[in-house]
Amino acid sequence: MEEFQGNDLAITRDSLYGTFSEPTYAGVTSFMRRRYTRDLRGVDLVVSGVPFDTATTNRPGTRFGPRAIRAASVTSAWERHYPWEFDPFDHLAVIDYGDCNFDHAQPQRTPAAIEAHAEHILDAGCGMLTLGGDHFISYPLLKAHAKKHGALSLVHFDAHSDTWPDADDSVQGISHGTMFYHAARQGLVDPARSVQIGLRTTNDDVMGFQVLDARQVHRNTPEAIAELIRARVGDNPVYLTFDIDCLDPAFAPGTGTPVCGGLSTHQALEILRALRGINLVGMDVVEVSPPYDNAEVTALAGATIAMEMVCLYAARHKADG
């Protein structure tokens, strides 16, 4: 942590690097006080939001998720992220790119808009951390990442498999419960090298994905679960997606489709930390729905999980050489 440099670092900071102290209760709120900019020159990692929730099947409100996660992140932006031994912002040039723009009046065009948004960032040589939004946004993001990296290993934290087919299989819908069904069938992800963690809803067709359901997570240590994930993905390019409803509603009430029996925040964070070294190329945190949150605990969980992802990305691409 470096010396105090004044307020509103989201717009006034001189460098893309470093962690500086400013009042957590005031000022412009970007993710972790990173600079708000659309200038991708010299940038390693882009944080952007996709405030989209019309693919939701239950309670809406995740369009407000990116803003809530950013605001919650500011409470810890003054120090190095615990318990990592390095500050990822000393190693990565990270910006907050703002939100993806799309026309809500033309929902059929939204997937292409999200994909184009991601392609522009990836083509500039940047990594991406995306804040949702409902879970459908992972599908166009996967399309953009697969164009660059080939078939991806999906590491998917969720209460739901999201591999259900559309009601009419002849028409691909825009739903947050079907996107990984399509991603697998279209070769965007390789189920044989992918894993789903925390599931606790019934879907008998796992489509070749390894499933480590919530009961298995509870019966094992986080390190043991992480080792199973690492063995599954190997050094394949990994897209990491975290649906906040993977957490039990006691830890994340602010989400559209909560399911009892989920992971604690502690379990999730420990599993993520134990994934250090995986070939992480893209990531998102989704399904934070502030209208159903209580004391911003879900937004805070989302922001903390997002920072774990930043540290994992830094460890692979910078800090660990």
135 assigned binding-site residue: yes
CA distance 231 to 229: 5
CB-based burial label for 170 (10 Å; 0-12, 13-18, 19+): exposed
Distances, alpha carbon 282 to alpha carbons 96, 165, 269, in Å: 15, 25, 18
The verdict on whether residue 160 carries a ligand-binding annotation is: yes
Is 245 within any annotated ligand binding site? Answer: yes
Q: Say how many CA atoms lie within 13 Å of 194 toward its Cβ.
A: 27
Residue 243, annotated ligand binder?
Answer: yes
Across the strands, what pairs with 128? Answer: 46, 282
The per-residue DSSP string of 118-185 comes to HHHHHHTT-EEEEEESSGGGHHHHHHHHHHHH-SBEEEEE-SS---PPPSSTTS----TTTHHHHHHH
Separation CA 304–CA 215 (nearest Å): 24
Binding-site annotation: residue ranges for Mn(2+): 135, 158, 160, 162, 243, 245
Binding-site annotation: residue ranges: 135, 158, 160, 162, 243, 245
